[in-house]
Amino acid sequence: MNRIVFFVIASACAAAVVALAQPAPASAGWCWPSCSNYGYLGQSTSTNNGCWYSSGEVCSYYGYWFNVGIAKTCYPGCDWNYNTQGVVLYGFENQERIRGHFTVKAATVYVRPSELYMSGAVRAQVTWYGGPASQLNAAAIG
């Protein structure tokens, strides 16, 4: 009986941690892999919707986005400073260029298109750059 109670409490805590760590989309938006789960972004990951790179990238449809955010976990492991070995670029892209900030951190980060000197209709993107796959949740709000 005690073990069952412990299991239920542990499961609830784990679910709460996952829910709180994710960047919550505000209104109309785009999420990857969904708005309530983490996915693995590696060298061969693709959303198959015409992103800048045919693989190793996930991107939204074209829109007038307010910002894009990612919540990256420690998968497959973090050092003492919460850095992973998986390097990703997060930001936006259009027909001419792809722009963003790099991160290896297990952290929550956000950026607006204007910060990257981009405007008009753009795609929100998260791109694998190097290292092992990153476990993350991405969301863009419009």
Spell out, one character per residue from 122 to 141, where the chain touches other proteins: x when CB under 8 A holds, - when not: -----x-xxx---------x
Residue 115 interacts with other proteins (CB under 8 A): yes or no: yes
Residue 12 Cβ vs other proteins, minimum distance, rounded to whole Å: 19
Residue 102 interacts with other proteins (CB under 8 A): yes or no: yes
Q: Are 87 and 131 in contact (CB under 8 A)?
A: yes
Interacting residues with other proteins between 46 and 85 (CB under 8 A): 52-54, 56, 66-67, 69, 71, 79-83, 85
Give Cβ neighbours of residue 56 (< 8 Å, ≥ 6 apart): 41, 42, 43, 44, 45, 46, 127, 128
Residue 10 Cβ vs other proteins, minimum distance, rounded to whole Å: 16
Q: Are 32 and 47 in contact (CB under 8 A)?
A: yes
- Classify residue 15 by burial, with Cβ atoms within 10 Å: 0-12, 13-18, 19+: exposed
- Pairing verdict, β 39-41 and 134-141: antiparallel
Residues that bind other proteins (CB under 8 A): 20-24, 26, 52-54, 56, 66-67, 69, 71, 79-83, 85, 87, 89, 91, 96-112, 114-117, 127, 129-131, 141
